[in-house]
A = this chain, B = another copy of it.
Amino acid sequence: MLTTNPFDDDHLREECGVFGIYGHPEAAALTALGLHALQHRGQEAAGIVAHDGDVFHNHRDLGHVEDCFGSESIIRKLKGAAAVGHVRYSTTGETLLRNVQPLFAEMEFGGLALAHNGNLTNTNVLRRSLVKRGCLFQSTTDTEVIIHLIAISLYTSVEDRLIDALRQIEGAYSLTCLTKDGVMGVRDPLGIRPLVLGKLDGAWCLASETCAFDIIGAEFVRDVEPGEIVVISATGLRSLKPFAIKQRRFCIFEYIYFARPDSIMEGTSVYDVRKRIGAQLARESAVDADVIIPVPDSGVPAAIGYAAQAGIPFELGIIRNHYVGRTFIQPTDRTRHVGVKMKHNPNRHAIEGKRVVLVDDSIVRGTTSRKIVEMVRQAGASEVHMRISSPPTNHCCYFGIDTPEREKLLAARYDVDGMAKLIGVDSLAFISLDGLYKAVGEEARNPAAPQYCDACFTGDYPIMPTDYADQLSDPKQLSLLGEAGK
């Protein structure tokens, strides 16, 4: 009932968003609001753990943030001036309540709650050795590996135990972590996933995106640095940098699709980047046309940029039905053709007899693109051209983004001409890799040391993903945890 149909609109999906705040009397309420603003990063489950100076309070549930935290009684229960929160989009198996974050554990030094955005790439190896040692896993998440590593660390302080754990894990991670002493924010050494620092009424806060600060009225201070641990406690904010400095490799797809357009990432407005991509695309692959039509909603900023650059009218040629959030079971063959129409309807009067440029952000499996093109043609378009505001998506992501297996990626199977044919357009163009780097403010991509993680386009992974190198490495029976239900 709660499962959003994965890839129902054929997009890659961000898997998580995190939040944290320390020193504010409304910590849990602000965390709930922050998570609400991060809802696009994970729509299937949400959780908050708060600490009131004495004990921890916890609420985690399946569903949207509003469903989980909409009632005053729940917020009131989450007492305390420190809290961390998490929204989650489930990728592996079902969304089980036991996998909902923040994860919490009682350790020798007290309780610890952990919220994680990203994905570890050496989980299986670590998990096997922990199980061998006698560690019992409660969930099937990679995040729990970090918890156990902290629990068994021989260091005394939480910070040292955390650093001890971080040294053993590989992959992408932006973490918020709550103990009885404070809140910590961590970003992996490459800074693959975002994490920003803000301030509200003197209280420090952490979030995946700045839009979470906007909603609570907090001031955006700065990005947490790659490899930085921010420790917020009664004595203020300290910054630890225990790792060797590396070339940062922020995920460029955050700009293209994942982040909200009103967020600022690594100092740059996401909306601006998207418009610049649209403009660059218009320059790179112009075409004679009557209207520029975005595939709503994510294609809109690029379409505005494209239309302005090309001097062609921008029109809402496709109307999106915003009531579609969950799957609507199609009963029979006769009604199966509605498919894409559940969500999108052509606005015939803006299309009929026109040469149309459709602007979308990406093509993953191509299924939705094909249906939208067909729909636009049926509505009377005389020509349909498609312009994509990312390079072809050609490789899987192992760093916290839900991608289908590589053989299902259209770009891994066809060249651009083949794709155009399959999708049924008169012309198809993707932005060039260098064009994309230009739009984010670089002169061009530096192939020797790429400024961003663009592995989904290039296959140039910033870290060798250990687990995925060896596909045989699944622990034997995790099925009970996997199915155990509530």
Contacts and interface: CB of A to CB of B under 8 A. Distances in A.
A133 B350 CA distance: 55
B216 A338 contact: yes
Given A107-B131, A136-B151, A338-B33, A57 B480 contact: yes
Given A134-B152, A316-B261, A475-B106, A37 B345 contact: yes
A181 interface: no
B104 A484 contact: yes
Interface in A450-486: 475-481, 483-486
Interface stretch (A317-325, A365-373, A385-393): A317-325
A222 B59 CA distance: 47
A272 B107 contact: no
A441 interface: no
Given A272-B349, A334-B25, A36 B313 contact: no
Nearest to A55: B479
A30 interface: yes
A324 B66 contact: yes
Contacts of A264: 348-349
Interface string A9-49: 00000000000000001101110110011011001000001
Contacts of A345: 37, 211, 214-215, 260, 262
Given A272-B349, A331-B29, A345-B262, A304 B315 contact: yes
A214 B319 CA distance: 12
Interface string A132-159: 1111111000000001100111000000
A136 B106 contact: yes
A335 interface: yes
B316 A314 contact: no
A262 B319 contact: yes
A153 B136 CA distance: 13
Q: Interface centre among A66, A67, A104, by most B CB within 10 Å?
A: A66
Contact of A72 (B217, B324, B329): B329
Given A56-B480, A151-B136, A348-B262, A335 B216 contact: yes
A246 to B, nearest CB: 29
A37 B335 CA distance: 14
A305 to B, nearest CB: 10
A337 interface: yes
A75 interface: yes
A327 B65 CA distance: 11
A215 B338 contact: yes
> Secondary structure at chain A's binding surface: helix, strand, loop or mixed?
mixed
A40 to B, nearest CB: 8
Contacts of A75: 329, 331
A408 interface: no
A39 B321 contact: yes
A58 interface: yes
Contacts of A480: 49, 55-58, 104, 106, 111
A64 B323 contact: yes
B55 A477 contact: yes
A226 B179 CA distance: 45
Given A136-B147, A321-B37, A70 B216 contact: no
A59 B331 contact: no
A398 to B, nearest CB: 24
Interface string A280-324: 000000000000000001001100100010000111100101111
A481 B60 CA distance: 13
Contact of A323 (B39, B61, B153, B301): B39
A66 B29 contact: no
A319 B261 contact: yes
Contacts of A332: 26, 29
B271 A349 contact: yes
Nearest to A273: B349
Given A66-B324, A215-B338, A136 B148 contact: yes
13 contacts: A29-B332, A58-B484, A66-B326, A72-B329, A105-B136, A106-B131, A134-B135, A136-B138, A136-B148, A262-B319, A269-B349, A271-B350, A486-B486
Given A108-B134, A215-B345, 10 more contacts: A25-B334, A29-B331, A36-B321, A58-B484, A69-B328, A136-B148, A261-B316, A271-B347, A301-B316, A304-B315
Closest 6 CB pairs of A and B: A134-B152, A269-B349, A134-B151, A29-B331, A56-B480, A55-B479
